[in-house]
Structure 1
Amino acid sequence: MKKVILYCCVALLAIQHSPLYSKIEINENLLSRISEQYGQDAYKRIIKWQALLEAQQSEPIDEQLKEINDFFNRLDFIDDKKHWGKEDYWATPIEFLSTSGGDCEDFTIAKYFSLVELGVDKSKLRLMYVTATKPPQAHMVLAYYENPNSIPLVLDNLNKRILPASQRKDLLPIYSFNGDGLWLAKTQGRGRMMQNRGNNSLWDELNERMKNGF
């Protein structure tokens, strides 16, 4: 358990110091690159994602959460070492979809950026590091807060149902973050903000790849 907490502390010591990149632009040039590099199945997954984002633009938040959660939870879990040849790699949503799988961070990141693209306020979304207890493992989920004092809803790839955090006794929250800052988490509510500036290389690299179109 101490190792898990230490890992999370190191990984989340900071959040990027520049504004969060959230605009997802899918054009013919990008689609051509995806098709050439990853094949037609990858191309079709990106098209389906684009169609989902367009269809959900004006839908109620409950439906947006469900549709985005369900869409990405159809992909496969693949360990970073096996998938990318690295101990830890945070894939962009396009990389995640193009390769048809990823680990818990990739599921969470893809859901986060998709909901931001749909117009969900970033302040209502947190990427949250937790300890999953069955079996014990470091894990990441997406938390949605309807208001600052509400118990968040949890979007997860282990338990695919969207449930309030109070009903996820199998998850022990540690830290959460978004583009605005880092919070020391607690079981219910938003937790205590620790900092709002920083230098998380994985987060910075992820945003830089998105800025470059992938």
Structure 2
Amino acid sequence: MGVAALVLAWLAPVPGRSALEFDLARVQQTMQSRFGAQGVQALQDWLRMLEAQAGRPPARQLQAVNDFWNHTVLGSDDTVVWGEADYWATPLESLGKRAGDCEDFVIGKYFSLMRLGVPVEKLRLIYVRARVGGVGSTQSIAHMVLGYYEKPTSDPLVLDNLVADIMPASQRSDLTPAFSFNGQGIYVAGASKAAPVERISRWRGLLSRMQQEGFMP
């Protein structure tokens, strides 16, 4: 796939705006009851990072959020962390466990940036096939990354837990996008319009659990 075709396949966002609000006392209580003092410490670290990044340029926010989650959470499998084949953890759960898989990293970064005021249409949770094993390898895995679109037609920046550097999608030849989504809908190359995000049952379950924790996604 050529660079132009690759960029097109990552698709452009749809206008709109959202933010992440939460009941701090309820969130702290939830973390304390489920994960104890270590969980509360991780929550405080996250809140301090968000406070420090408030009002800063988007590029600095992206880097800080990407670094925080990549350094705080240990990459692992859902079967190890949750005893399930595919579990989408809330940011609170990932912080409490300090472990998660690719979806959990992306979810944490997505809602962190929303909390910092990044419009939802600039963010996409993107399913990809990631080539692993180095140059010349044909081995690939199912993977998820977070895409940031400065403008609707921009080459998105890719936030990834496998690669520390934030790079434009056109420079990530190891990734082949399948489809993407955010709180506004599901986006598939060639589709005339976005499908309702409610079709993703794990997304519905994630938002429901976040609400129970004290978030208002």
- TM normalised by structure 1 equals 0.83
Q: Does 1:59 align with 2:56?
A: yes
Gaps of 5+ in 2: 1-16, 133-138
Superposed displacement of residue 149, structure 1: 0.7
Number of the residue aligned with 1:10: none
Deviation per CA, 1:131-189: give whole Å up to 9, x if none.
0011410000000000011100000000011001111111111101001111125xxxx
* SS of residue paired to 2:213: coil
Find the counterpart in structure 1 of residue 177 from structure 2. 173
Which amino acid is the alignment partner of residue 24 of structure 1? F
Structure 1, unmatched stretches of 5+, are 1-18, 186-190
Deviation at 1:57, TM superposition (A): 1.3
Instruction: Indicate the residue corresponding to 1:70 in structure 2.
Output: 67
**Structure 2 Cα separation of the partners of residues 117 and 158 of structure 1:** 24
Normalising by structure 2, report the TM-score: 0.82
CA RMSD of aligned residues (A): 1.9
Q: Give the length in aligned residue pairs.
A: 190
**In 2: Cα distance, 1:181 partner to 1:193 partner:** 13
Deviations 1:12-40 (A, max 9, x none): xxxxxxx988323322x432442343232
- Give the alignment of 1:71-90 within 5 angstroms: 71-74=68-71, 75-90=73-88
Q: 1:179 to 1:53 in 2, by over 3 A?
A: same
Give the whole-Å Cα distance in 2 for the aligned partners of 1:61 and 1:25: 25
Matched, 1:39 2:43: no
Q: Is the 8 A contact 1:181 1:193 kept in 2?
A: no
Q: What amino acid does structure 2 have at the position aligned with 1:196?
A: A
Indicate the residue corresponding to 2:11 in structure 1.
none
CA-to-aligned-CA distance 1:94-149 (integer Å, 9 cap, x gap) = 00001101000000000000101110010000000000011410000000000011
Q: Name 2:112's counterpart in structure 1.
A: 114
1: CA distance, partners of 2:23 / 2:51: 12
Q: What amino acid is the match of 1:40?
A: A
Q: Paired residue for 2:22, among 21, 24, 37?
A: 24
Aligned mates of 2:47, 2:192 — CA distance in 1: 34
Shift of the 194–80 alpha-carbon distance from structure 1 to 2, 3 Å rule, reads farther
Aligned runs of 1:151-190 on 2, under 5 Å?
Answer: 151-185=155-189
Q: Determine what percentage of the aligned residue pairs are the same residue.
A: 45
